[in-house]
Amino acid sequence: MAVNVEEFYRKYGPMVLRRCRSLLQNEDEALDAMQEVFVQVLRKQEVLNDKAPSSLLYTIATNTCLNVLRSNKRKPLNGRDEYLVEIAGWDNPEERVMAGHFADRLFSEEKDSTRLIAVLHYVDGFTLEETAEKVGLSVSGVRKRLRGLRKKGLSLKEV
């Protein structure tokens, strides 16, 4: 049964936009990511099922935003002025840079799903059960990934 994309957009658009804003911290990128979420739904409307639309859209939005963040990391900044304005707006640039480098090292060799698990559990505050349901793993699988991530983080912190 095909999903009604227009109805999804009206009903869940604000939720998707909030999610995109939360992850991307950039209004223009968040709006683009939200559009991309609904383009994906539109492309696959014939095969999607509408049993849990908020969970579906939330997961698509999270994955889309993580892809945007990953893509931004790979491409160089367009102009030096944007970078300078961004740095000027930071309260404590050194801490933010160090946190960014730490996160890059922490997730560099991890599966994309591990990053998603960490975001859902630590940033969004989902329980282990909710996180497991969203990523399609067992609770013990999620717990094992988070334990491994925590162990890796502690070892990186000591270096």
Answer for the pair 3, 45: CB distance below 8 angstroms, yes or no. yes
Tell me what pLDDT residue 5 has: 84
**Cβ neighbours of 38 (radius 10 Å):** 19
Tell me what pLDDT residue 16 has: 94
At 18 the three-state DSSP class reads: helix
The whole-number average pLDDT for the span 119-137 is 86
Q: What is the pLDDT of residues 10-20, one digit of tens each?
A: 999 999 999 99
Tell me what pLDDT residue 84 has: 37
Q: Is the pLDDT of residue 96 over 80?
A: no
Q: In the chain, pLDDT over 90 holds for what percent of residues?
A: 24
Q: In the chain, pLDDT over 70 holds for what percent of residues?
A: 80
Mean pLDDT of the chain: 80
- If one looks up domain 1-75 in CATH, what number appears? 1.10.1740.10
Q: Where are the domains of the chain?
A: 1-75, 109-159
Tell me what pLDDT residue 77 has: 44
Tell me what pLDDT residue 51 has: 83
Residue among 46, 61, 51, 47 at smallest CA distance from 9: 61
CA dist 67 and 133 (Å) reads 21
CA dist 152 and 157 (Å) reads 9
CA dist 159 and 148 (Å) reads 17
Q: What is the pLDDT of residues 27-79, one digit of tens each?
A: 989 999 999 999 998 888 888 877 888 888 999 999 999 888 887 776 544 44
**Cβ neighbours of 134 (radius 10 Å):** 20
pTM summary value: 0.54
* CATH topology classification for 109-159: Arc Repressor Mutant, subunit A (1.10.10)
